[in-house]
Structure 1
Amino acid sequence: MPNIMLTRIDNRLIHGQVATQWTSYVGANLLLVANDKVANDKMRQGLMDMAAPTGVATRYFTIQKTIDVIGKAADRQKIFIICETPQDVLKLVEGGVPIDKVNVGNMHMADGKRVAVGVVAVDDDDVAAFRALRDKGVKIEVQKVPSEAKENAEKLFI
């Protein structure tokens, strides 16, 4: 069983808050970005590598590759999975990745989205994905950084 320390939804993927606060807070030594676009974008990977803490490995896998290889992770790997959308997390869960909790950090406002809570904007597809995750027993928490209080995740379902 993979040693997943945290799964987070943050459309910025690896950036300052992830690198400096969440990674050390959960004790991760591997940042795994599960994202189909970034898996094939060496430039974005390079930018994110620069934000990653020293001594912490990074991997950039497609959703399917994550599903296929996560079970082969070594016990010493303390994995922090970062996804861009709730739909990606749902695909991982449906593919058998043992995720029992997801931290929602940042989902930018865009056309067709509405602010649900804090810096999290959702559309109907996002709400449906969050509901499906909850129905599968995944606990959903909204929290920007570890030092701040969790926000009301129920607002994601409205």
Structure 2
Amino acid sequence: MLNILLTRIDNRLIHGQVAVTWSNHVGANLIVVANDKVAGDVVQQSLMDMAVSGVETRYFTIQETIDKIGLASDDQKIALIVKTPQDILKLVKGGVPIQKVNIGNMHYSEGKEQLTSTVSVDEDDRETFRELNKLGVHLEIQRVPSEKGENIIDLI
């Protein structure tokens, strides 16, 4: 049985909050980063690995994640991390059984509207979240485990 304990959108990917706080909170022993660019960047992987202690890491493209995640052993407790909601949609459409998404950080940039202190979206993000919602994926903004989550659909 596939054990995805956390699926998180965080444009920083692995950092202290993900590597320590979230992985410990959910009991993950493996962090899988699904990102086409980082999958081929060993320098960035090494920098992210420096934040991790006692948890294994894997760096896959979106397609590799779709192809390989179902091969995880029963004892692998997975925290799946992506940069964008569009990546989540590709994974879901590719058959990855994601039922709930934790939205941690989507930084503000020109053309985006700030919904919370850590989440900003543009129209493409809004459409993607609506499509994920229609596919039955629960979408919750929650920076850290001690905060109460907030359904993003209520904000967009």
TM-based fold match above 0.5: yes
TM interval, short-chain normalised: over 0.9
Match of 2:146 in 1: 147
What amino acid sits opposite 1:23 in the alignment? S
Structure 1, unaligned runs of 5 or more: none
Q: Does residue 1:60 correspond to 2:59, yes or no?
A: yes
Match of 2:89 in 1: 90
TM-score (norm 1): 0.95
Structure 2 counterparts to residues 66-145 of structure 1, below 5 A: 66-145=65-144
Match of 1:18 in 2: 18
CA contact 1:116–1:155 (8 Å) conserved in 2: no
Taking a change above 3 Å as real, the CA distance of residues 31 and 114 of structure 1, as seen in their structure-2 partners, is: same
Shift of residue 26, structure 1, vs aligned partner = 0.3
Match of 2:48 in 1: 48
In 1, the alpha carbon distance for the partners of 2:153 and 2:124 equals 16
In 1, the alpha carbon distance for the partners of 2:10 and 2:121 equals 12
Shift of residue 155, structure 1, vs aligned partner = 4.5
| Backbone CA RMSD of aligned residues | 1.0
Shift of residue 5, structure 1, vs aligned partner = 0.4
Match of 2:2 in 1: 2
In 2, the alpha carbon distance for the partners of 1:97 and 1:151 equals 23
Aligned positions, number: 156
Moved over 3 A (4+): none
Structure 2, unaligned runs of 5 or more: none
Of 142-151 and 6-15, the range deviating more from structure 2 = 142-151
Shift of residue 156, structure 1, vs aligned partner = 4.4
